[in-house]
Structure 1
Amino acid sequence: MYDLTALRERLRTQRPVPWDQLPDFSLYMDQVLSYMDRQVIRFDEDDGLTAAMVNNYTKSGLVPRAEGKKYNRDHLAYLTAICVLKRVMSTRDMDLLIREELQGDRPISDGYAAFCGSLNKALNAVADEMEDRTGEEELADAAIHFALMSYAAGVASSRYVTLLRQRQEAREEAASAAHAKSKERAKKEKEKD
Structure 2
Amino acid sequence: MDDLMELRESLGSQRPVAWDQLPDFALYMDQVLSYMDRQVIRFDADDGLTAAMVNNYTKSGLVPRAAGKRYGREHLAYLTAICVLKHVMSTRDIDLLFHEELQGGRTIAQGYGDFCASLDSALTLTAREMEQYTDEEALADAAIHFALISYAAGAASSRYVALLRQRKEQPEKASKPPKKGRKDKEGELSNA
Return the TM-score normalized by structure 2. 0.88
Any idea what SS the aligned residue of 2:103 has? Answer: coil
Q: How far apart are residue 172 of structure 1 and its match?
A: 3.3
- Superposition map of 1:95-174 within 5 A: 95-101=95-101, 103-105=102-104, 106-174=106-174
Alpha carbons 1:81, 1:98 under 8 Å: kept:
no
Aligned residue identity for 1:104: Q
- Report how many aligned residue pairs link the two structures: 176
Q: How far apart are residue 130 of structure 1 and its match?
A: 0.5
**% identical aligned pairs:** 74
Q: How far apart are residue 49 of structure 1 and its match?
A: 0.3
Query: Counterpart in 1 of 2:46?
Result: 46
Aligned CA RMSD, in angstroms, stands at 1.2
Higher helix share: 1
CA distance in 2, matches of 1:167, 1:57: 25
Aligned residue identity for 1:107: T
Aligned residue identity for 1:36: M
Alpha carbons 1:96, 1:165 under 8 Å: kept:
yes
How far does the alpha carbon of each residue in 1:17-37 deviate from its partner, in whole angstroms, 9 at most, with x for none? Answer: 000000011000000000000
Query: Counterpart in 2 of 1:14?
Result: 14
Alpha carbons 1:28, 1:70 under 8 Å: kept:
yes
Q: How far apart are residue 44 of structure 1 and its match?
A: 2.1
- Superposition map of 1:3-82 within 5 A: 3-82=3-82
CA distance in 2, matches of 1:81, 1:53: 14
Q: How far apart are residue 45 of structure 1 and its match?
A: 1.9
Query: Counterpart in 1 of 2:181?
Result: none
How far does the alpha carbon of each residue in 1:134-186 deviate from its partner, in whole angstroms, 9 at most, with x for none? Answer: 11001011011101110110000000000011111123345x35xx7xxxxxx
> What residue ranges of structure 2 are gaps of 5+ in the alignment?
178-192
How far does the alpha carbon of each residue in 1:52-89 deviate from its partner, in whole angstroms, 9 at most, with x for none? Answer: 00000000010000011000100000000000000011
Aligned residue identity for 2:69: K
CA distance in 2, matches of 1:55, 1:111: 22
Query: Counterpart in 1 of 2:182?
Result: none
Q: How far apart are residue 91 of structure 1 and its match?
A: 1.2
CA distance in 2, matches of 1:158, 1:76: 25
Structure 1's consecutive aligned runs of 4 or more residues displaced over 4 angstroms after TM superposition are: none
CA distance in 2, matches of 1:133, 1:9: 14
Return the TM-score normalized by structure 1. 0.88
Any idea what SS the aligned residue of 2:27 has? Answer: coil
CA distance in 2, matches of 1:7, 1:96: 31
CA distance in 1, matches of 2:4, 2:71: 35
Any idea what SS the aligned residue of 1:82 has? Answer: helix
